[in-house]
Amino acid sequence: MQQAIAVNKKSRIRYAMLSLVFINVMINYLDRSNLSVAAASLTKDLQLSTVEMGLIFSAFGWTYALLQIPGGLIADRFGPRILYAFCLITWSITTLLQGFAKGFVSLFGLRLATGAFEAPCYPINNRIVTSWFPNHERASAIALYVSGQFIGLAFFTPVLVTIQYYFGWQGLFITTGLVGLIWGVIWYLFYRDPLDSKNVNAAELEYIEKGGGLISGKKNEAGQPSIWNWANMKQVFTNRTLWGVYIGQFSMNAMLWFFLTWFPTYLVKYRGLNFLKSGYLASIPFLAACAGLLLSGFLSDYLIKKGKSIGIARKTPIIIGLIVSASIVGANYSNNTAFIIFFMALAFFGAGMALISWVFVSILSPKHLIGLTGGVFNFMGNLASIVVPIVIGFLVKGGDFKPALVFIGALGLIGACSYIFLVGKIEQAPVKSLVTEPELQT
């Protein structure tokens, strides 16, 4: 009897695979944000203006945003094990090489390359979760790996600051690049798709598949219709409700990219904080954003369980979060460090609440265009990674950072209004065309 129970007990290898993805996300965001830690020192050594620094901050977003839809296609064509290892190693090499940059052109080019090699990562993450987790566990799995971006930045930002303090900005890029290279090899050695894993048992595979998990890691079949046609593109670009969530995502990402780029410079150069002290204080808003994300997810699910409509349950935390994010403007009215960090943390907490917006991709998009809609959604949101750093660079060139915070706060309010007035009633967009797309996880 005991032997039979042991045989029927399902393994839990899916959580081990999720932990690998969690670490991938932490490294991913460390290599996005390391430039912000290095910026104050790097700007002085390479004699870069605030406008040039804004362009360098934005360079990652140029390629990352433009390659979102192709990145999703690539993620469906190739297996996560090989593709993620390739991405980790290549973007880590470009990160390492940033430690040898000699000026604007070389640094700008290397940041473009980093964005290009990171572009397929979130589509790969979603494909892994779809393969390893049943439907009823998938939302929590996504929340857990997404939280890696905030937990990693919260706990490792002080480490990055310390590395730069002792080894310079060159040592910072070289160190983070080497970490990614080593982890790329570890990923390749340990990650497996469900049917390729020697550790997963039949009970867990059955549990995943019965719950809607695609354990075979389904890829696009040859001969399927292409998503690249005007009928499909028109549907995802002309729907008013979808434009509401696109604008909201841009607004949320604007706050994220302020913290990933200009925030440490703001604390050191414009608020006069000690560099090492700023590293520890900078971690507080990232913890707040993680708390906002988790609170929003639980609150939204709680409202669903209480019988509230999907519109109220999903939109309410996002709207509240975007409104709260506008509190960043409060930092303009205080010279007290504690209050400045409080307003920054409160604003990022609000932005974290808005991060559950990915749920609207599957709710609102036409059933046959979920993948394409997700690619467009991520593209629109990540336009903020291009626009926001450049605009801030121009706004602060006179030495005053207050207009930049007003700009970020105003975008939060615009995002909230977008959900209130454009998104409207939550219902799936009608199917206007019989043109289908390959299954695309973005």
Q: How far is CA 133 from the centre of its chain?
A: 20
Q: What is the arithmetic mean of pLDDT over 72-101?
A: 88
Topology classification of domain 13-210: Growth Hormone; Chain: A; (1.20.1250)
Angle (CA) 124 129 133, round 5° = 160
Q: pLDDT class for 434, splitting at 50, 70, 90?
A: very low
pLDDT above 90 for 417: yes
Tell me how far the alpha carbon of residue 328 is from its chain's centroid: 21
Residue-wise pLDDT for 271-306, tens only, equals: 888 777 777 888 899 999 989 988 887 788 788 778
CA–centroid distance for 410 within its chain:
21
State the span(s) of the chain assigned CATH 1.20.1250.20.
13-210, 230-429
Give the per-residue pLDDT at 365.
65
pLDDT tens digits, one per residue of 119-154: 888 778 877 887 888 876 776 777 788 888 888 888
State the DSSP code for 269.
I
| Residue 346 pLDDT greater than 60, yes or no | yes
Q: What is the pLDDT of residue 441?
A: 35
pTM of this structure:
0.78
The yes-or-no verdict on residue 76 having pLDDT over 70 is no
The number of angstroms, rounded, from the C-alpha of 58 to the middle of its chain's C-alpha atoms is 15
Class of domain 230-429: mainly alpha
Angle formed at CA 108 by CA 262 and CA 181, multiple of 5 degrees: 90
DSSP letter at 329 equals G
Cβ(292)–Cβ(350) under 8 Å?
yes
Q: What are the backbone angles phi and psi of residue 201, rounded to the nearest 5°? A: -100, 175
CA–CA distance, 301 with 321 (Å, rounded to integer): 16
